[in-house]
Amino acid sequence: MVCEKCQKKLGKVITPDPWKDGARNTTEGGGRRVNENKLLTQKKNRFSPYQEFRKCRICKTVVHQKGSHYCQGCAYKKGICAMCGKKVLDTASYRQSTT
């Protein structure tokens, strides 16, 4: 779960979406250029073997999403944004397990 403000910070996908409505990585929307070399243009979105991964602030598991402080499971259980920790939805009436 990511809030609307942190949606801009997410990396773009290399392959184009088959469903083009609302996709950020199509050529029509200006998100992706035709015949661009991804090795040269998108170094910041690529995996680096020397990169240190962050740990979730709640359960201390490794978080692979770039820029996130919380893992996806903890963010959903608490109803918070995985990147900034802002409350996204009210989980008071949800029936969730403790595992």
CA distance 66 to 44: 10
Q: Contact, 85 vs 27, CB < 8 A?
A: no
Q: Count helices and strands (H / E) in the chain.
A: 2, 2
- Residue 63 or 35, more confident: 63
**Is 0.75 surpassed by the pTM of this model?**
no
Q: How confident is the model at residue 53 (pLDDT cuts 50, 70, 90)?
A: confident
Q: Rounded CA gap, 24 and 26, in Å?
A: 6
Task: Tell me the domain boundaries of the chain.
Answer: 51-99
Measured CA to CA, the distance from residue 49 to residue 3 in angstroms comes to 28
CA atoms within 13 A on the CB side of 71: 12
pLDDT the model gives residue 57: 95
Convert the pLDDT of each residue in 34-50 to its tens digit.
Answer: 677 766 666 665 566 66
